Structure 1
Amino acid sequence: MVTGTGLVERAGGLREVARRRAADAEERRRLTPDVVAGVLESGFARHFVPVGFGGAGGTFREFADAVAVVAEGCAAAAWCASVASSLARVAAFLPAQGQAEVWAEGADAFVVGSLSPAGKAAAAPGGWRVSGSWACVSGVDFSDWVVVCAVLPGQAGARLFALPRGAYAVKDTWSASGMRGTGSNTVVVDDVFVPESRSVDRQRLFDGPAVPIQAVNGLSCAPAALGAARGALRLWS
């Protein structure tokens, strides 16, 4: 019986693929292409995408349950599945024109990113010029878009900027002892112009009519740990 959007049920299939490929992901320090394809085909990327752009209109409960299911097979795959959903939700705070650009080719665009204000942005006609380096961006090797955060000199707060693949470089820096398969490498942006349509004040994530990010941000982390613990328990049972 399929419930909600069917994400939890499809996550069961992804769990088995990810389980078989977990050792490969650990060795490669990134997911294998078939697992990434499974993340997108299962519906994680589109789960929080606005319905008007082809999104699923999914719930936080369904998202958390599905991530935990995948983590029973591979915690790294579950983490990247969580990123695919969570960063798409962040992209949904962009102005409508920016959202249309991100999902111009469909709701399964793989959006990754960092909300840490590690970059700098300078105002330019029609937008900003952005530069910076953001570490630990999970799944970035397979990304279509990245959302990064930068400060504007002389101004309080920070802004988010969405950049398409090709506008940023990926530096291979991920060599952690655990969760190696997440491929959490570094994004580098060198004086790239970002139009106003693809930027939003970071404070928008914390207030307004949408669910504040501080109320749900833990859901992007906890389910992967829960599912991994379940999987480990089964191995020892």
Structure 2
Amino acid sequence: MMPQQEIDWLSLAESLGKEFAARDIEADETDLFVADNIAKLRSNGLIAAGVPIELGGGGASHADLCAVLRILGGYCSSTALAFSMHTHQVMVATWRWHNQNAPVDGLLKRVANEHIVLLSSGGSDWLQSGGTAVKVEGGFVVNARKVFASGAPAANLLLTSAIDRDTENGATVLHFAVPMNAQGVAIETTWQAMGMRGTGSHDVIFSDVFVPDAAVTLRREPGKWHPLFHIITMIAFPLIYSVYVGVAAAARDRAIELAMQRRTDEHLCYMVGGLENEMMAANLALGHMISTATTSQPGFNTTNQIMTGRTLVAKAALNVLDLAMEIAGGSAFYRKLGMEKLFRDVQGVRYHPLREEAQRKLSGQLALGWDLSNN
């Protein structure tokens, strides 16, 4: 393999994506986790791609990794989505190391040297969190069920949170990392879903898991925005939503290919034109999210830009698949064409936070000048 700093990440993603596409259908039809694909990402350096070169990683930029995930999303959406959950944790830590001198170099060095895979429960926990943390000597005992843990079967370290309700100042969310092989941690294979069936987004169960005091990296009030969540929003969502734009782009390309094989009429041109409009909308909204993450500082205004982009990408991606199905006609209903799988996979774009209702509320509050400092 070439020296890390010389790797063409996009070409590597194209090459691996073509290989992953062959296993995509099997994962969809059997609910089989894409373990072999994650292993390939690890052996080809992509697990550590976002770690700074100074810490032993590949030094890939946030924009590069968005492009990688968009490419992979078009070949094997489950691999791309599972990988995005690891990638955003790496890139959040990298941003904090570069911009805040945060003490995350130990974690990043482990990703670079040991090629560990990180797992997130953030989307299902979000600001409120879930589970209980009870104080004991030297730490906490945690009991929880963490749902939608994409990539769980391949993960080595879970970055998660739970609520300590027995504090003088009221309930407190504790953030910590737990090895997936720790005593009391188990995966319950619940992931039988409409789409993204190969992501291994099972439930992770905590049964009296001991978390030492030293492992707690953050304490915050439940349901309130914390500065860390503005960083997470800024970095994570352009990466995650790149996957869905990749899915939409694959459906667009397939629909165009089918349309070119048919007799062209004005109605078909009209539908294809609409498809192109929606694909452009998805690309523009995603591009705005990526550029915002590259040029902005975290805070409510940046979060608003990112989350508005998330809503616009979701709408456009869903519209792309609707139009692609219409253009393909009845053949889209056949599983062998692959269009219905893309249609099912893109539905996941609806469910990551902030969903549209919450995003519109936040945008409205900011537009009307509300003070959100305590929100």
- TM-score of the aligned structures, taking structure 2 as reference length: 0.55
Give the structure 1 partner of residue 146 of structure 2.
Answer: 134
Give the structure 2 partner of residue 194 of structure 1.
Answer: 211
Is the contact between residue 55 and residue 107 of structure 1 (CA under 8 Å) also seen in structure 2?
no
Give the structure 1 partner of residue 247 of structure 2.
Answer: 228
Shift, 1:113, TM fit: 1.9
Change beyond 3 A, Cα 1:217–1:99? closer
Shift, 1:163, TM fit: 1.2
Once the two structures are superposed, residues 4-28 of structure 1 have per-residue CA deviations (whole angstroms, 9 ceiling, x without a partner) of 7532221112211211100111123
Q: Return the alpha-carbon distance in structure 1 between the equivalents of residues 16 and 230 of structure 2.
A: 28
Give the structure 2 partner of residue 121 of structure 1.
Answer: 133
Q: Percent identity?
A: 24
Correspondence 1:47-62 to 2 at 5 A? 47-49=49-51, 51=53, 53-62=55-64
Kindly indicate whether residue 194 of structure 2 is the aligned counterpart of residue 177 of structure 1: yes
2:73 is aligned with what amino acid? A
Q: Return the alpha-carbon distance in structure 2 between the equivalents of residues 158 and 45 of structure 1.
A: 29
Of 149, 166, 181, the match for 1:166: 181
Q: Report the structure number with the largest CA radius of gyration.
A: 2
Change beyond 3 A, Cα 1:170–1:91? farther
Shift, 1:220, TM fit: 3.1
Is the contact between residue 119 and residue 158 of structure 2 (CA under 8 Å) also seen in structure 1?
yes
Q: Return the alpha-carbon distance in structure 2 between the equivalents of residues 184 and 34 of structure 1.
A: 16
Is the contact between residue 5 and residue 53 of structure 2 (CA under 8 Å) also seen in structure 1?
no
Q: Return the alpha-carbon distance in structure 1 between the equivalents of residues 218 and 83 of structure 2.
A: 25
Partner SS, residue 40 of structure 1: helix
Structure with the greater relative contact order (CA < 8 A, sep ≥ 6): 1 or 2?
A: 1
Shift, 1:183, TM fit: 1.3
Shift, 1:131, TM fit: 1.6
State the Cα RMSD in Å: 3.0
Q: Return the alpha-carbon distance in structure 2 between the equivalents of residues 90 and 202 of structure 1.
A: 18
Give the structure 2 partner of residue 99 of structure 1.
Answer: 107
Structure 1: runs of 5+ lacking an equivalent: none
- More helix per residue: 1 or 2? 2
Q: Return the alpha-carbon distance in structure 2 between the equivalents of residues 207 and 51 of structure 1.
A: 26
- Equivalences, count: 233
1:221 is aligned with what amino acid? I
- TM-score of the aligned structures, taking structure 1 as reference length: 0.84
- More strand per residue: 1 or 2? 1
2:199 is aligned with what amino acid? T
Shift, 1:82, TM fit: 0.8
Give the structure 1 partner of residue 236 of structure 2.
Answer: 217
Shift, 1:224, TM fit: 0.6
Correspondence 1:28-39 to 2 at 5 A? 28-39=30-41
Q: Return the alpha-carbon distance in structure 2 between the equivalents of residues 42 and 105 of structure 1.
A: 12
1:20 is aligned with what amino acid? A
Kindly indicate whether residue 227 of structure 2 is the aligned counterpart of residue 207 of structure 1: yes
Change beyond 3 A, Cα 1:194–1:72? same
